Amino acid sequence: MRSYFIAALALLTLPQAWAAGPAKVATLDRQLWPQAIDSRSAFDQASAAEIRQFTRLLAATPLDDAAAVTAFTQVDNPDMASVQQWRELTQLRLQGNYAMACHQCQDAKSWEALVAASQQPHDNSLGAWQQASQAFHQRYLYEQVRLAALFGRVTSEVLPLGAGELDELERSGFNQADGHFLLSYDDGPSSTVKGDNRSAQLVSALEGKGLHAQFFALGERLAAVKPGKDFYANQCVGSHGYQHKSHQRWDGWAQSLADTRKLLAELPQKGHHWFRPPYGQRQPALLESLAERDEGVMLWNIDSQDWNRKLDNQQVQDRVITLMLLWRSGIILYHDIHPKALANLPALVDFQKQAGLTWTDCRDI
């Protein structure tokens, strides 16, 4: 087991500033999986395999003390309470997801049983996929533990912010029904360049496929672009704040919400009023302010990394599909100002149809 942890460290020991994103992100060539995912049973089989891979690596990675977490993430003075909370939640989610994937088999009866199942050898035909999948999940585990280790200083989508009523104000994606996914897009609306507008093109593509996605617009972009009332058509539009900056410690967070709310009031509202904090960074006072207006925070649990120039269209698509297999439901984060969001849409819709999955209608949440 320890060999997996040593291999992970070899991949992940990267000098970096703790406030910045990870230097490398997880992606996986889906063509290495030898079987077509063309039915719900095929989805379940591939899902179970990815869950076992992540489970094995999570179980093999020492996370019980600060020294081990620092060695794994390069984060000094890690927030150990958040790391343990993330690990406990993740173990429960993996066990629950595996129960769905294997149809309540004995290996899903307990975390220990799932770990034991994850340690069984794969079929020889899966050798190339297994090696690539292990590298993916090592990298993805690092992404998640790093966010948890930083949570006491820099909040993010990795954990709920509060407890009780505050916790109920936040949607992360894990509360979706099995096989249900919501498409969401940040940072628009985009400007028109040489007659092309990426946000408008994406809305048109979604409309053409009968999909209703959740957009999160920046106030300063709304003010600059001045989209018409029909710009977002039958999609939902929420607030991403006035400026794309952290709302965790910014003194101007309340004004940011108020100014963006006024601009959004000029557009037809569909569905609940949601706020998505830039970088997922928020504070209790912000949640309380939203609660007073019957608004909430929508986070995400599948990060496409479509803004990342190191990933091409196929790598972003493969990352998203792999995380859909791992988490089996969720809120997918894209950015309508970047071209990969539109480029990925046809393949994601094909995957959803073939695998028997469901796109959540933004107007129903």
The C-alpha atoms of residue 333 and residue 329 are separated, in whole angstroms, by 13
- Based on the fold, state whether residues 134 and 276 are members of the same structural domain: no
Q: What is the pLDDT of residue 219?
A: 98
Give per-residue pLDDT as tens, 159-200: 999 766 666 789 999 999 999 999 999 999 999 888 889 999
Three state DSSP letters for 201-213 = HHHHHHHHCCCCC
| Furthest-apart CA atoms within the chain: distance in Å | 59
Average pLDDT over residues 24-46: 96
The fraction of the chain above a pLDDT of 70, given in percent, is: 92
Q: Does 157 map to a domain? A: no
Q: Tokens 């933004």 label which residue?
A: 362
- Based on the fold, state whether residues 45 and 171 are members of the same structural domain: no
Nearest to 119 by CA among 60, 159, 204: 60
The C-alpha atoms of residue 249 and residue 246 are separated, in whole angstroms, by 7
Res 90 pLDDT > 60:
yes
**Long-range contacts of residues 113-116, Cβ cutoff 8 Å, at least 24 apart:** 114/51, 114/52, 114/55, 115/55, 115/56, 115/59
User: Higher confidence at residue 162 or residue 237?
Assistant: 237
Res 322 pLDDT > 60:
yes
Domain end call among 122, 150, 178: 150
Rg (CA), the chain: 20
Q: Does 261 map to a domain? A: yes
- Based on the fold, state whether residues 106 and 194 are members of the same structural domain: no
> Is the C-alpha dihedral spanning 34, 37, 39, 45 positive or negative?
positive
Q: Helix H segments across 102-197?
A: 111-118, 127-150, 165-168
Domain end call among 97, 123, 150: 150
Res 205 pLDDT > 60:
yes
Q: What is the pLDDT of residue 163?
A: 65
Res 325 pLDDT > 60:
yes
Res 5 pLDDT > 50:
no
The fraction of the chain above a pLDDT of 90, given in percent, is: 86
Average pLDDT over residues 338-363: 98
- Based on the fold, state whether residues 104 and 210 are members of the same structural domain: no
Pairing of strands 302-303, 330-335: parallel
Strands (E), 153-259: 170-171, 180-188, 214-217, 236-239
Q: What is the CATH number of the domain that holds 262?
A: 3.20.20.370
Q: What is the pLDDT of residue 24?
A: 76
Q: Does 156 map to a domain? A: no
Res 14 pLDDT > 50:
no
DSSP tag of 193: B
Q: Does 287 map to a domain? A: yes
Res 8 pLDDT > 60:
no
- Based on the fold, state whether residues 286 and 247 are members of the same structural domain: yes
Res 17 pLDDT > 90:
no
User: Higher confidence at residue 232 or residue 164?
Assistant: 232
Q: What is the pLDDT of residue 166?
A: 62
- Based on the fold, state whether residues 255 and 329 are members of the same structural domain: yes
Looking at the structure of the chain, the number of domains it has is 2
Q: What is the pLDDT of residue 15?
A: 36
Nearest to 331 by CA among 113, 229, 183, 224: 183
- Based on the fold, state whether residues 239 and 329 are members of the same structural domain: yes
Res 323 pLDDT > 60:
yes
Average pLDDT over residues 235-256: 97
The C-alpha atoms of residue 65 and residue 78 are separated, in whole angstroms, by 9
- Based on the fold, state whether residues 260 and 123 are members of the same structural domain: no
Average pLDDT score, the chain: 93
Q: Does 155 map to a domain? A: no
DSSP characters for 280-338?
Answer: G---HHHHHHHHHTT-EEE--SEE--TT-TTS-HHHHHHHHHHHHHHHSSEEEEEETTS
Domain end call among 100, 124, 150: 150
Q: How confident is the model at residue 21 (pLDDT cuts 50, 70, 90)?
A: low
The C-alpha atoms of residue 196 and residue 337 are separated, in whole angstroms, by 11
Q: Does 42 map to a domain? A: yes
Q: Does 158 map to a domain? A: no
Give per-residue pLDDT as tens, 330-347: 999 999 999 999 999 999
Which range among 32-36, 122-126, 304-308 shows the weakest confidence by mean pLDDT?
Answer: 122-126
- Based on the fold, state whether residues 289 and 348 are members of the same structural domain: yes
- Based on the fold, state whether residues 140 and 196 are members of the same structural domain: no
- Based on the fold, state whether residues 64 and 212 are members of the same structural domain: no
Predicted TM-score (pTM) of this structure: 0.93
The C-alpha atoms of residue 161 and residue 171 are separated, in whole angstroms, by 11
Q: What is the pLDDT of residue 162?
A: 73
- Based on the fold, state whether residues 42 and 116 are members of the same structural domain: yes
Question: Structural domain of residue 39, as residue ranges?
Answer: 2-150
